[in-house]
Amino acid sequence: MSLRLAAEAEPTPDVSDDEVWLTCIACGAQFAPFEAVRFTCDNCDGLLEVRYADHPTFDDFEGHGVWRYSEALPFDKGVSLPEGATPLHEVPRLREEVGLRALRVKHEGMNPTGSFKDRGMTVGVKVAKRIGVDRLACASTGNTSAALAAYGARGGMETLVLLPEGKVAAGKVAQAALHGARILEVDGNFDDCLDRVQDLAARGEVYLLNSLNPFRLEGQKTIGLEILEECYADYGAFPDRIILPVGNAGNTSALFKAFRELVQAGALRPEEVPKLTGIQAAGAAPMVEAITEGNDEIRRWEEVETRATAIRIGNPVNAPKALPGIRETGGTAVSVNDDEITSAQRALAEEGVGVEPASACSIAGVRKLRKQNIIDADERVVCLTTGHLLKDPDEAYRAGGAPDAVPNDTEGILEHLAGD
């Protein structure tokens, strides 16, 4: 394992009095964080990352939810609903089935709008306010649009969302609509929507709040921080592995960054960093392809299809941050098919945990990787479930059972119950 984790902190540049700045991960150029609208590097168009002069240790965290971790974030308080502090469920039957020392489910569907996207928006929308923009926008497979609409509304700002026509689950569109986003349905897939919204942002029409925006990922780091703290409190150890669904690979990048910063702070030893393990749907698996083939770059999939519409993505924009995250932590990436996804969604539901299809990928993934013995029985594993069951009522209804029609009399109902 070649962990670049303990790399020396770079010197504080002359671009900020806040000890926070932006660095291009490709060419190293540095920029002031809040003075201008900027999503990628001015010089080379590379991905930007938020950097800090100092990193906190676990002792520096206090409070509840995302803003408990303000010492690891660019400021003290965002536009908040509030978010974070999601449950870490035990799933004893699934643990028994797959055969693991420990298996927990971090249910991010329990955030205010029902997905982890809220953790990024509480930071990102605040940055937009600080910079002084008034129109926020995103391309979305659904959950980003729901979160942007709610946090934009909370911040009193105008929101615009671009959705792939006919490919967004009903609950998510309903949220975006009710929270007052202007919804544009694009005749194309998610990746096309992201191209369009990046063009709009480049023309100064909108402030972009996809996970290309480095501030979103800062908020999402708190998933990793919460998991480490909770596992340590529960069983006195950090998890060996974190398994997560991968779409644009923002979370994979954010968790890796959280762990790197803890290592830099001396709060986590490099060998304690959980192995980041990404799961994609078989019909949209460019990250898995890159990991399997050992490629440094992603091949964009033009045709993508899966029931897990939240991760129906062929060109994961955060791949340059996420591929090193998977490789340097000793993790891996695999794909699961739609039937495996639905089966995992049911298995979780049978333990009382309701998730949308994309979320169930992490469970489908742990099943597969245990069968292949790529995950050891001795490991402590945390699976991330990214969105709530009610996000996609059509899939939930399809995966579950249909109601029985019965007469309006007790005898008739009893007869019906005795019948099967």
Binders of ligand PLP among residues 213 to 272 (CB under 6 A) are 245-251
Residue 111 is a binding residue for ligand PLP (CB under 6 A): no
The residue written with tokens 């949209």 in the block is 284
Q: Is 265 left (phi over 0), alpha (psi -120 to 50) or beta?
A: alpha
CB of 32 to Zn ion, least distance (A): 15
Residue 358 binding target from Zn ion, ligand PLP, none, CB below 5 to 8 Å by type: ligand PLP
Residue 250 binding target from Zn ion, ligand PLP, none, CB below 5 to 8 Å by type: ligand PLP
Residue 56 or 286: the one with the smaller Cβ distance to ligand PLP is 286
Pick from 267, 298, 310, 326 the residue near ligand PLP by CB under 6 A. 310
Pick from 173, 311, 326, 353 the residue near ligand PLP by CB under 6 A. 311
Pick from 4, 43, 77, 234 the residue near Zn ion by CB under 5 A. 43
How far apart, in whole angstroms, are the C-alpha atoms of residue 149 and residue 5? 36
The total of other beta-carbon atoms located within 10 Å of residue 401's CB is 6
- Tell me which stretch binds ligand PLP (CB under 6 A): 91-99, 179-187, 256-264, 356-364: 356-364
How far apart, in whole angstroms, are the C-alpha atoms of residue 311 and residue 140? 10
Handedness of CA 403, 409, 412, 414 (dihedral sign): positive
Which structure tokens are listed for 363? 């469970």
Residue 245 binding target from ligand PLP, Zn ion, none, CB below 5 to 8 Å by type: ligand PLP
CB of 53 to ligand PLP, least distance (A): 27
Residue 84 or 247: the one with the smaller Cβ distance to ligand PLP is 247
Residue 80 or 111: the one with the smaller Cβ distance to ligand PLP is 111
Residue 118 is a binding residue for ligand PLP (CB under 6 A): no
Interstrand relation of 207-208 and 135-139 (parallel, antiparallel or unpaired)? parallel
Total interface residues for Zn ion by CB under 5 A: 8
Four-point Cα dihedral 36, 42, 46, 52, nearest 10: -50
3-state DSSP call for residue 280?
A: strand
Q: Are 384 and 245 in contact (CB under 8 A)?
A: yes
The residue written with tokens 């033009």 in the block is 302
Which structure tokens are listed for 156? 């009193």
Which stretches of the chain bind Zn ion, using CB under 5 A? 24, 26-27, 29, 41, 43-44, 46
Which stretches of the chain bind ligand PLP, using CB under 6 A? 115, 117, 143, 211, 245-251, 310-311, 356, 358-359, 386-387
